[in-house]
Amino acid sequence: MSRLDTKYWVVDKKDEKLTTNPQIQEAALWINKNEVVAFPTETVYGLGANALSDEAIAKIYEAKGRPSDNPLIVHIAKESQLQNLVKSIPESAEKLMAAFWPGPLTIIFESNSTVSSKVTAGLSTVAIRMPDHPVALALIEAAGVPVAAPSANLSGKPSPTNAEHVLHDLQGRIAGIVDGGPTGVGVESTVIDCTSTPAIILRPGGITREEIEAVIGPVAVDKALTEKGQAPKSPGMKYTHYAPKAPLVIVLGSNTFMQNLIDKERQSGKKVGVLATEESKQRYKADVIVACGYREDLKTVARDLYDSLRAFDKEMVDIIFSEGFPRTGLGEAIMNRLEKAAGGHIIKE
């Protein structure tokens, strides 16, 4: 691809007139020109383009190096935009929207074919969410079109939680970056398919299964999340993702067991990294130890996860051992991302 002059706009998310902010207006103009602009959401930075344009969506796939059979999530600023994109709104979806929009919940609807077929990767359904970030909402509103946006990173790399990550991966590959500061949640949105009964969670994320079931009752979970060999249906779940440069291994066992694995690799001359928590970081001896939040507060782990994985690239380690986390609440999303980053490489005591 030809190299672009990537523009950089710094926007204060506390600005009370964001929609008319000159920086937002300029970024929106590039989206209207069918170019690609990165912007912050409450989860991770997104790589946004006009969801109605085949030309614009093709540029997302090119910039990311992402396979075009991987569907994208459409971001909207108000519910009136939703009516123009879907055939109907199921009751379960209405309840979830009332409870969690704007927020880190993506809902699958039957598409009315208004969005580009490149967004849906040829599927009859479309994934839509309303982000809970003032800069994202202002940009979408200023652009006046629904904005398709996967995470703003090169395909396969850890998702970006600040504008510096985006600049590192995509400078020269996209038209511009809106820097609205660091994101909050840190892992992508939960994806739930409301076209079936019961609704099916296709990707765990910022809204937990427990929170969803408190609103609409029991839900199913996509077999691809629990069974190997099953093809995932959700955007962003089809290929290895979130991976640092060095091989990542998840260790399920005691601190002593993990230290033995660390020692063995170090004795063979490798530079070893450890992904731990603030509570456990003192228990290990390794070349690079990165604390990824507090085990007692998994929101901090989710928030810091991708930044922590990128930290190992800067340290140029040869292998990374990571602690595991409980598969309840937000831990389900954390373990899902770690397993994707590790390519499923888990060692149990």
Structure confidence by residue, pLDDT tens digits, 189-218:
999 999 999 999 999 999 999 999 999 999
Could you give the residue range(s) of every CATH 3.40.50.11030 domain in the chain? 248-348
163-174 pLDDT tens trace: 999 999 999 999
- Asked if 87 contacts 128 with a C-beta cutoff of 8 angstroms, the reply is no
Q: What is the fold, at CATH topology level, of the domain defined by 7-189?
A: DHBP synthase (3.90.870)
For 201, the 3-state DSSP assignment is strand
Q: pLDDT value at position 142?
A: 97
pLDDT for residue 240: 58
Q: Which residues are annotated as a binding site?
A: 43, 66, 70, 75, 125, 129, 149, 151, 159, 189, 203, 242
H helix intervals, 217-277: 255-267
> What architecture is the 248-348 domain classified under in CATH?
3-Layer(aba) Sandwich (3.40)
What is the structure's pLDDT at 236?
58
274: which strand partners? Answer: 289, 321
Q: Please tell me the predicted confidence (pLDDT) of residue 69.
A: 77
The stretches in the chain having pLDDT less than 50 are none
Q: What is the secondary structure of 23-88 as a DSSP string?
A: HHHHHHHHHHTT--EEEE-SSSEEEEEETT-HHHHHHHHHHHT--TTS--EEE-SSHHHHHTTBS-
What pLDDT sits at residue 234?
Answer: 64
pLDDT of amino acid 235? 63
**What is the SS3 assignment for 279?**
coil
The pLDDT, as a whole number, for residue 154 is 92
Residue 253: C-alpha distances to residues 301, 308, 323 (Å):
19, 21, 8
The pLDDT, as a whole number, for residue 155 is: 85
Encoded tokens for 330: 């937000």
Binding residues for L-threonine, as ranges, are: 43, 75, 129, 149, 189
The encoded tokens of residue 303 equal 């928030």
Order of strands across the sheet that contains 45-50: 7-10, 176-179, 37-40, 45-50, 147-148, 73-75, 125-129, 105-110, 190-193, 200-203, 220-221
Check residue 66 and give its pLDDT: 74
How high is the pLDDT of residue 223?
84
Angle, CA of 176, 46 and 213, to the nearest 5°: 165
Residue extent(s) of CATH 3.90.870.10 domains in the chain: 7-189
32, 92 Cβ separation under 8 angstroms:
no
225-251 tens-digit pLDDT: 766 655 555 665 555 567 899 999 999
pLDDT at position 229 is: 56
Residues that constitute the known binding site for ATP? 66, 70, 125, 151, 159, 203, 242
Residue 224: per-residue pLDDT = 76
